[in-house]
Homo-oligomer: A and B are copies of this chain.
Amino acid sequence: MREQSDPLSAAFAALADPTRRAMLAKLCEGEATVNEIAAPFDLSLPAISKHLKVLEGAGLVSRGRNAQYRPCRLEAGPLKEVADWVERYRRFWEGSLDRLDDYLKGIQQKETPK
């Protein structure tokens, strides 16, 4: 049996699908019903429903109840966890930029000696 996944893993897994990322982007505009969310996609409604369930399971979406509608809203908490996690690696992608900067500075100094 598989180990149940921690919140951060669930968030990353939920974000690993472009359909789900597009759904989150749509929810940036505000609450939306399942049909509104489904509209841009060439997918059956049950497929959309499953994607929403994944997002909900990762805590990225919450849902209300309004008549027969189940309005979805963005919940950004897990995104903060993702941002915090990835932030610890910033120096590794900025480091190379720094080295590039140094390199360019060196070139510049050589080419425009004072």
Contacts and interface: CB of A to CB of B under 8 A. Distances in A.
Interface of A: 5-6, 8-10, 12-13, 15-18, 21, 24, 28-31, 73-74, 76-77, 79-80, 82-83, 85-87, 89-90, 92-93, 95-96, 98, 101-102, 104-106
Q: How many copies does the complex hold?
A: 2
Nearest to A73: B102
Given A83-B86, A98-B74, A9 B13 contact: no
Contacts of A15: 12
Contact of A30 (B8, B74, B101): B101
A106 B28 CA distance: 14
B73 A93 contact: no
A113 to B, nearest CB: 11
Contact of A16 (B16, B92, B105): B16
Which residue, of A24, A89, A106, has the highest number of chain B Cβ atoms within 10 A? A89
Contact of A82 (B77, B86, B105): B86
